[in-house]
Amino acid sequence: MVNPAWCRAGVAGRMVDMSSVLLLAAATNAVADAVAAAPRVVSASAGFGLVFWSLLLLSAVALAAIAERVLLYRREQIDSAQFLAGVRNVIKRDNVLEALSICDATPGPVARMVKAAILAREGGRERVQEAIEEIGLIEVPRLESHLAFIATVAQIAPLLGLLGTLLGLAGTFRGLRKPDGPAFGYAAPGEMFDGLMQALYSASLGIGLAIICYAAYNYLVSRVNLLVLDMERTGGEAVKLVTGENGAGGNGRPQ
């Protein structure tokens, strides 16, 4: 007589085996689908084209340059009126070392210009003006650094996007006349889509990059103009400050 418990155990074992087989089959199908999809992913990535990846790299460099300039100008911009008031109060007490310490602790070209004027105070008004002009010749190019690169990217990005578009369309039309396609003179839809995708994405990236760089360039130029204007205004005040023309009591010799 057959033991019912053994029968139930045998049925359960077969059910476990069947579920294992189903799980194994599902895992095999998933792996097969992934392997089959891999060439399509690689093909899609390759379909963007060399120009697209070049534009992507250029975008990363341009955005890094823009961010660096924005942070620099924010750090270099100070309240020049308040800064000069503090230096003037110290100069009135004939405490030149403290005035130099204030200049060293304050970032920006304005502070460096005032420091140069204080150091050149013994040479008179002309020497102070020369020292201020020398600092200006150093600071202005430093402030304008990377702006030419950003402007260049804004100009050539649409051209690179157009180049990618033309190359993508050329690849599409070249695929239309492949003799080894499914039929002579025809290409597979996937091959056509790769070329069209390269054309559209390259043009979009080029135009988008040009818009960002052009807007950023105008903004950064306006910030540089504000800094240079602040330097010019502070330079005149610094000459009066160290030569005693404004009643600061400096150690310089008024001319």
- Whether the pLDDT of residue 95 is over 90: the answer is no
Residue 111, number of CB atoms within 10 A of its CB: 21
Q: What does the pLDDT read at residue 18?
A: 46
How does pLDDT run across 109-166, given as a tens digit for each residue?
A: 999 999 999 888 888 888 888 889 899 899 999 999 999 999 999 999 999 999 988 8
What average pLDDT does this structure show over 32-44? 39
Distance CA 108, CA 98 (A): 18
Match 């033309």 to its residue by tokens.
166
Q: What does the pLDDT read at residue 61?
A: 95
- Whether the pLDDT of residue 38 is over 50: the answer is no
Task: Give CA separation, 149 vs 9, 65, 202, in Å.
Answer: 77, 9, 20
How does pLDDT run across 17-37, given as a tens digit for each residue?
A: 444 444 334 433 443 454 344
For the chain, the straight-line distance linking the first and the last C-alpha, in angstroms and rounded, comes to: 129
Token reading at 246: 């404004």
Evaluate whether 108 touches 76 at the Cβ level (below 8 Å). yes
Residues 6 or more apart whose Cβ sits within 8 Å of residue 87? 99, 102, 103, 114, 118, 241
Locate the domains of the chain by residue range. 1-47
Element (H, E) at 33: helix 4-47
